[in-house]
Structure 1
Amino acid sequence: MPATARTTTPFDLDAYLDRIGWEGERRPDAATLRGVHLAHAGAIPFENLDAVGGTAPSLGLADLMAKLVHGRRRGGYCFEHNTLFAAALEALGLRVTRLAARVVVGAERFEDRPRTHMVLLAEVPGDPRPYLADVGFGAVTCLLEPVPLTVGAEFHDGGRRRHRLVHAPRRGPLETWVLEAGRQGADGGWEAQYAFTPEPFEASDYEVANWHVATNPRSPFSRRPYVQRLLPDRHLLLDGRVLTETRDDGTVTARKPGDDAQVRRVLAEEFGIAAPEGLRLSEG
């Protein structure tokens, strides 16, 4: 094969698995898919600091490995996380279809929200059901483990969250799937998180969405820091100047770091993130 036709991948499965602390089997099966998904969710934080600094983050695998896996002490948002995770699943022998979803939390009409969230369908050899996998949703209701693409069944992923998939009314030839999260509290109701169809999306599609999310002045991700981390018994969220801790029992506490130096300390000590030099992190 001519040198110009050869392709190489900068993805390093050993380094990735070491980064997320996965020491289990490396098999293309459901148990490995669940375990690696949960390990990734607990190891690499969600953050949008590149966008806050006015830059759309690179989605190239070499750059993602350098930022999220190797020594830069950073995380990323959905396009970064799920691009990296898809490469890991494929290296483990699973087939992955990359999709785009509409984040519909609080929306009256799903169609009013653009497709700005990347999700994955992972296929396990011998299993007739694909799995919805998503390690990049920036919310306390994010998936901890992949869930089978099955209508109506309730899943307790990671033993800590409740999710289910339902169908929305169809407006075209493809089924519209909706991920719902179980609310805590007495009512135990459900809240729609995002909606998607099983139409494959390509790298060029995500480049456009990534640029829009990171640089559009109306995007919430371009205006203020939004950082989250999953810990064994709690979830941390830094939204602008508010640090919120949500424990698994539903207890919520919040505090406000003050100036940039305090926010940087919070990022380093609570999230394990080294914020870029010169980036303004506090508001007002």
Structure 2
Amino acid sequence: MPSTVRTTTPFDLDAYLDRIGWEGERRPDAAVLRGVHLAHLRAIPFENLDALGGTAPSLALSDLMDKLVHGRRRGGYCYEHNTLFAAALEALGFRVTRLTARVVVGAERFEDRPRTHMALLAEVPGDPRPYLADVGFGAIGSLLEPVPLTADTEFHDAGRRHRLVRVPHRGPLEMWVLEACRPGADGGWEAQYAFTREPFEESDYEVVNWHVATNPRSPFSRRPYVQRLTQDGHLFLDGDRVTATRADGTVTERKATVEAEMRRVLAEEFGIEAPEGVRLIR
């Protein structure tokens, strides 16, 4: 009698949903899409510590499950988060298109910024509008819940305010821009990233992931860049500066100036166990 061969898939939906604490329905509708998106963001931090240590993180699903799901006390950056999230959405029955975007925060010309960010479009059965979903944008202007791809409409996603606008550009496809309203009373809209609906493939992300992680001019290869949602706002580490932003726009800052203090901050406040051998203070 031939031996039985047990095959396994690299993505385990049960383990992923347990990691993010999702106990709700498992069906492809808008409520589940929003809920799982927010739960992912609350559970798994954004961080670039592999790139800081000189290596490009693996985008293989088995490696992402090991790093972000199976108890290694780690997070990841956009390619890791959104590759994992896309697999979860597909396992739940959504159709997903993988995109790339130009991060344009502070840019005078959008064309000056390369396409270095990964985002997603998720299709909900029965809904003609795709939803922009993104659990990997490491900034306070990031989406907390997916928003329909609808122009010039303000969305309130879990307390943040976003809108999508179309802008002219030289290509044949429409250029969309995600804008966020800055926290605080004076507010104001600020462009976050620009994208078209052109689909991208795994091989495309392998190239850009390697470039962003290993290029000596990339900010991700030069300093710690970590964020997570808190109960009442957003916590952000950029270099040696820790910034806490409350939902009312109140901002407090402090510095972590020695290696041991930085590792303590990552462990206690961000839930990240920094890899041995990675120097955090530059």
Give the TM-score range, shorter chain.
over 0.9
CA drift of 1:188 comes to 3.1
CA distance in structure 2 between the aligned counterparts of 1:178 and 1:58, rounded to whole angstroms: 29
Deviation at 1:271, TM superposition (A): 0.5
Equivalent position of 2:189 in the other structure: 190
Letter of the 1:28 counterpart: P
| TM-score, scaled relative to structure 1 | 0.96
Structure 1 residues 194-251: Cα deviation after superposition (integer angstroms, max 9, x where no partner) = 0000000000000011001000000000000000010121211111111111111111
Q: Distance in 2 between matches of 1:60 and 1:203?
A: 10
The question of 1:204 aligning with 2:166 is answered no
| Residue identity opposite 2:152 in structure 1 | G
> Which residue number corresponds to residue 221 of structure 2?
222
Aligned to 2:131: 131
Please state how far the C-alpha of 1:175 moved relative to its aligned partner: 0.3
Correspondence for 2:13: 13
Q: How does 1:246-257 map to 2 (within 5 A)?
A: 246-257=245-256
Count of paired positions = 277
CA distance in 2, matches of 1:270, 1:242: 13
SS of aligned partner of 1:10: coil
Distance 1:172 1:257 in 2: 44
Residue aligning to 1:277:
276
In structure 1, the partner of 2:59 is: 59
| Distance in 2 between residues matched to 1:194 and 1:80, nearest whole Å | 18
Q: Distance in 2 between matches of 1:232 and 1:36?
A: 17
1:100-249 alignment, distance < 5 Å: 100-158=100-158, 160-249=159-248
Query: Which residue of structure 2 lines up, in the alignment, with residue 3 of structure 1?
Result: none
More deviation, 83-92/183-192: 183-192
> Compared with structure 1, are the counterparts of its residues 251 and 188 closer, same or farther at alpha carbon in structure 2 (3 Å cutoff)?
closer
RMSD: 1.2
Write the distance in 2 (CA, Å) between the matches of 1:184 and 1:25.
32
Q: How far apart in 2 are the matches of 1:204 and 1:219?
A: 20
Percent of residue pairs bearing the same amino acid type: 83
Structure 1 residue identity aligned to 2:223:
R
Give how far 1:22 is off. 0.4
**Could you tell me how far apart the structure 2 residues matched to 1:48 and 1:242 are?**
15
The answer to whether the Cα contact below 8 Å between 2:184 and 2:250 also exists between their aligned partners in 1 is: no
* AA at the equivalent of 1:65: M
* AA of the residue aligned to 1:248: A
User: What is the CA–CA distance in structure 1 between the aligned matches of 2:8 and 2:59, rounded to whole Å?
Assistant: 16
Structure 2 spans left out of the alignment, 5+ residues: 1-6
CA shift, 1:186, in A, is 4.1
Moved more, 30-39 or 227-236: 227-236
Separation in 2, partners of 1:93, 1:22: 16
Gap regions ≥5 residues in structure 1: 1-6
For 2:144 and 2:183, locate their aligned partners in 1 and report how far apart those are by CA, in whole Å. 16
Aligned partners of 1:143 and 1:83: how far apart in 2?
A: 16
Partner of 1:261: 260
Cα displacement (A) at 1:50: 0.2
Residues 80-130 of structure 1, C-alpha deviations (whole Å, 9 max, x = no match): 000000000000000000000000001111010000000000000000000
TM-score by length of 2: 0.96
Q: Is 1:77 the equivalent of 2:77?
A: yes
CA shift, 1:184, in A, is: 2.8
CA-CA distance at 1:144 after TM superposition: 0.2
CA distance in 2, matches of 1:189, 1:233: 21
